């Protein structure tokens, strides 16, 4: 049996066993089954990936079963394995396996562990279905599967109102993007008369310049199809406008955040755009839209990350920003660079989230960084893991010598954006450079606030903050002397092992695999799985030296600002925030997107629903439907009751009247 079948279906089987067995199965067996299934899938995925890296493997399609044969719409359930799939297989299975192991320690006290691990495995299965899809309908099946699983995981603590609200928000916002994705799939089938991805990509160049009638106007066919598909990617990958669900997804357990942000749901949009890159390459307008949206997103999210206090929200907005980089790469015609950053990002972003989870675990679920400080002496292993992730995301490295993972992948995106020589590409480059400075600042700000300085989790200072910021409180016990009733402690081994493995990836993944993703002459690696631009790769490596050194310079600048503000002169950030005034408030409140959407969409929707309920449901349907029918029956029964007197003469009178009426009817119609 082909290994790909085991890779895809082992997580599903594990999810069914743990989910159906639930508490009857027990915590440990459920965790063993799901974790073993993921590690087995991971072990099978790496040889496939390394085979493509070495140039020894060829793309293949493994049939599973016949699915739909209805007129012109014919497609089967088949698993496609090529370079793009191989990259996603190792990303998804590696991060998911480590998240499963990490959850042994993090969720140890939760009473619903079998359900949690079943959801994790189900999430992984849905993502694997998406990345192995051979047709758009199968991709949509996985697409909706990760949406369902994210709803279940974000709202896992369903008794917590904020978690339930966040799950609903993620589900609803993604439905908006999914509408565009569905319309794109419908339009693609209408144009190409097939949903087979290989056939569509082969025929796509021939549709360049054609037009289609849509919304009463003539549009460029490939432009309208690609933009509709990209709207779906904007929802899943939390791009500007459809990003509001991503920060609230932090209400789920921290392992969920790591899985969603690093390897599964948010990368689905990037994968889809790269998979369909030959389609997007036929429309310069669609490519420009992808680039501009990605550039605006990376800047927008990076600005917000500089002001947040919740450790998980800082990393969440970092994810949003890094996804913007990936779309910039895809938009300028460098899907290889986009996938390279997706690959390295999976390691260091999972590391940062799981490291943050270790900090939260040590601090008894306190997430506000203002209540941290000086933790490097208490949780040294977590500290060094977070340092590795920070060095990777900020792009620390020396050109042509060595760098951490993000140094290679993010710099390749900036070089591609500059080398594209397009207006949108140059916009992506300059905004990307500025966002790299902000990334360095908020990443080191997180490190300094958490691990350096005077401890702020003990003594009267914590109590004072808790009084003024009681909305951040988590109900921690405190001693009579005013000190916090806990002491930081290092995480258990089940949480530290994943941190160690991911740290290794954050350090060397970029160095080991850059030659496969973005070096000249790497066309053999992609082998037609993406629209690989050999010319752009050459131009990337020929950019001026200042372009190559600019990310390093802004990284140092961001580090220096963070060091000065949070180590050298801790009062400096507050002074800057007060001087910025309204601008700081605007950014701190996340550009007021939630408030804007609340006024434009949420409140009108509730008002309309209230009116439909009162006027339509109660006033019309209930009044003339069930309530009206009940009233009619009640009135009829009262009238009929009068004839049921029990007296013989009453019944004789009724019989006489009935007989008279019958005879009269016969005489009239004789």
Three-class secondary structure assignment of 119-159: HHHHHHHHHHHHHCECEHHHHHHHHHHHHHHHHHHHCCCCC
Residue 404: is its pLDDT beyond 90?
A: yes
How many angstroms separate the CA atoms of 67 and 134, rounded? 12
Per-residue model confidence (pLDDT) at position 215: 75
Residue in the block written with tokens 């933009």: 227
How many angstroms separate the CA atoms of 333 and 531, rounded? 8
Is 114 strand, coil or helix? Answer: helix
How many angstroms separate the CA atoms of 348 and 71, rounded? 47
Per-residue model confidence (pLDDT) at position 328: 95
Is 159 strand, coil or helix? Answer: coil
What is the mean predicted confidence (pLDDT) over 224-231?
A: 94
| pLDDT band, residue 25 (cuts 50/70/90) | confident
End-to-end CA distance of the chain: 84
Per-residue model confidence (pLDDT) at position 593: 92
Is 63 strand, coil or helix? Answer: strand
Per-residue model confidence (pLDDT) at position 531: 67
In the chain, what percentage of residues exceed pLDDT 70? 94
Q: What are the C-alpha distances in Å from 516 to residues 54, 262, 493, 509, 511?
A: 9, 21, 34, 11, 10
Residue 224: is its pLDDT beyond 90?
A: yes
Task: Compute the mean pLDDT over every residue in the chain, rounded to the nearest whole number.
Answer: 88
* Least-confidence region, from 59-68, 127-136, 262-271, 619-628: 619-628
Residue 139: is its pLDDT beyond 60?
A: yes
Among residues 102, 101, 95, 119, the alpha carbon closest in space to that of 46 is found at: 95
| pLDDT band, residue 302 (cuts 50/70/90) | very high
Q: Which helix (H) or strand (E) holds 290?
A: helix 284-305
Instruction: Extract the tokens encoding 289.
Output: 């839209």
CB 27 within 8 A of CB 47: no
Q: Which helix (H) or strand (E) holds 218?
A: strand 217-220
> What residue ranges in 72-144 does DSSP mark as E strands?
73-81
Q: What is the pLDDT of residues 453-464, one digit of tens each?
A: 888 877 534 433
What is the mean predicted confidence (pLDDT) over 426-434?
A: 95
How many angstroms separate the CA atoms of 471 and 309, rounded? 12
| pLDDT band, residue 481 (cuts 50/70/90) | very low
| pLDDT band, residue 524 (cuts 50/70/90) | low
Instruction: Extract the tokens encoding 235.
Output: 């929802």
How many angstroms separate the CA atoms of 208 and 210, rounded? 6
Give phi and psi for 63, each to the nearest 5. Answer: -70, 145
């Amino acid at each position: 049996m082909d290994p790909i079948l085991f890779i895809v279906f082992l997580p599903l089987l594990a999810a069914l066993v743990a989910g159906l067995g639930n508490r009857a199965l027990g915590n440990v067996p459920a965790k063993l089954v799901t974790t073993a299934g993921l590690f087995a899938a991971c072990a099978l995925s790496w040889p496939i990936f390394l085979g493509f890296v070495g140039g020894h493997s060829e793309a293949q399609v493994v049939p599973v079963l016949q699915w739909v044969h209805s007129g012109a719409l014919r497609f089967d359930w088949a698993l496609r394995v090529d370079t793009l799939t191989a990259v996603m297989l190792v990303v998804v299975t590696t991060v998911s396996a480590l998240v499963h192991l990490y959850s042994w320690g993090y969720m140890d006290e939760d009473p619903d562990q079998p359900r949690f691990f079943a959801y994790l495995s189900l999430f992984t299965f849905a993502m694997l279905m998406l990345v192995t899809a051979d047709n758009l309908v199968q991709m949509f099946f996985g697409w909706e599967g990760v949406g369902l699983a994210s709803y279940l995981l974000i709202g896992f603590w369903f008794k917590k109102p904020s978690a339930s609200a966040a799950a609903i928000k993620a589900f609803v916002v993604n439905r908006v993007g999914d509408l565009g994705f569905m319309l794109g799939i419908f339009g693609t089938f209408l144009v190409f008369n097939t949903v087979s991805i290989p056939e569509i990509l082969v025929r796509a160049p021939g549709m360049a310049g054609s037009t289609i009638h849509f919304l009463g106007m003539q549009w460029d066919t490939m432009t309208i199809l690609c933009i509709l598909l990209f709207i779906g990617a904007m929802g899943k990958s939390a791009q500007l406008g459809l990003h509001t669900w991503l920060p609230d997804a932090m209400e789920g357990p921290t392992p969920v955040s790591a899985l969603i942000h690093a390897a599964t749901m948010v990368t689905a949009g990037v994968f889809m755009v790269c998979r369909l890159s030959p389609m997007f390459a036929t429309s310069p307008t669609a490519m420009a839209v992808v680039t501009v949206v990605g550039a605006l997103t990376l800047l927008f999210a990076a600005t917000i990350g500089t002001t947040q206090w919740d450790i998980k929200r800082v990393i969440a907005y970092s994810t949003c920003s890094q996804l913007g980089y990936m779309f910039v790469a895809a938009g300028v015609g460098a899907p290889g660079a986009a996938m390279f950053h997706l690959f390295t990002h999976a390691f260091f972003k999972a590391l940062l989230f799981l490291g943050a989870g270790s900090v939260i675990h040590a601090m008894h679920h306190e997430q506000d960084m203002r209540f941290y400080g000086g933790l490097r002496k208490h949780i040294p292993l977590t500290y060094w893991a977070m340092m590795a992730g920070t060095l990777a995301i900020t792009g620390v490295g020396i050109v042509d010598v060595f760098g951490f993972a993000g140094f290679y992948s993010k710099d390749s995106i900036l070089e591609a954006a500059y080398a594209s020589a397009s207006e949108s590409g140059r916009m992506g480059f300059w905004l990307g450079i500025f966002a790299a400075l902000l990334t360095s600042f908020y990443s080191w700000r997180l490190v300094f606030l958490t691990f350096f300085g005077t401890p702020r989790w003990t003594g009267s200072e914590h109590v004072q903050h808790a009084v003024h910021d009681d909305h951040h409180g988590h109900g921690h016990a405190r001693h009579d002397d005013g000190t916090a009733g806990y002491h930081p402690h290092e995480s258990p081994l089940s949480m530290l092992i994943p941190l160690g493995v991911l740290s290794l990836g954050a350090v060397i993944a970029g160095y080991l695999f850059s030659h496969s993703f973005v070096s000249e002459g790497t066309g053999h690696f992609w082998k037609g799985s993406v629209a690989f631009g050999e010319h752009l790769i050459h131009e990337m490596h020929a950019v001026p030296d200042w372009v190559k050194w600019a990310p390093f310079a802004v990284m140092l600048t961001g580090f220096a600002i963070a060091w000065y503000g949070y180590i050298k002169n801790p009062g400096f950030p507050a002074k800057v925030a007060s001087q910025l005034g309204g601008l700081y408030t605007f950014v701190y409140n996340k550009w007021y997107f939630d408030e804007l959407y609340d006024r434009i969409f949420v409140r009108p929707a509730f008002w309309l629903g209230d009116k439909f309920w009162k006027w339509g449901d109660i006033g019309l349907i209930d009044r003339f439907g069930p309530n009206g029918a009940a009233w009619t029956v009640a009135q009829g029964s009262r009238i009929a009751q009068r004839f049921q007197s029990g007296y013989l003469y009453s019944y004789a009178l009724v019989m006489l009247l009935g007989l008279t009426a019958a005879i009269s009817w016969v005489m009239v119609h004789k």
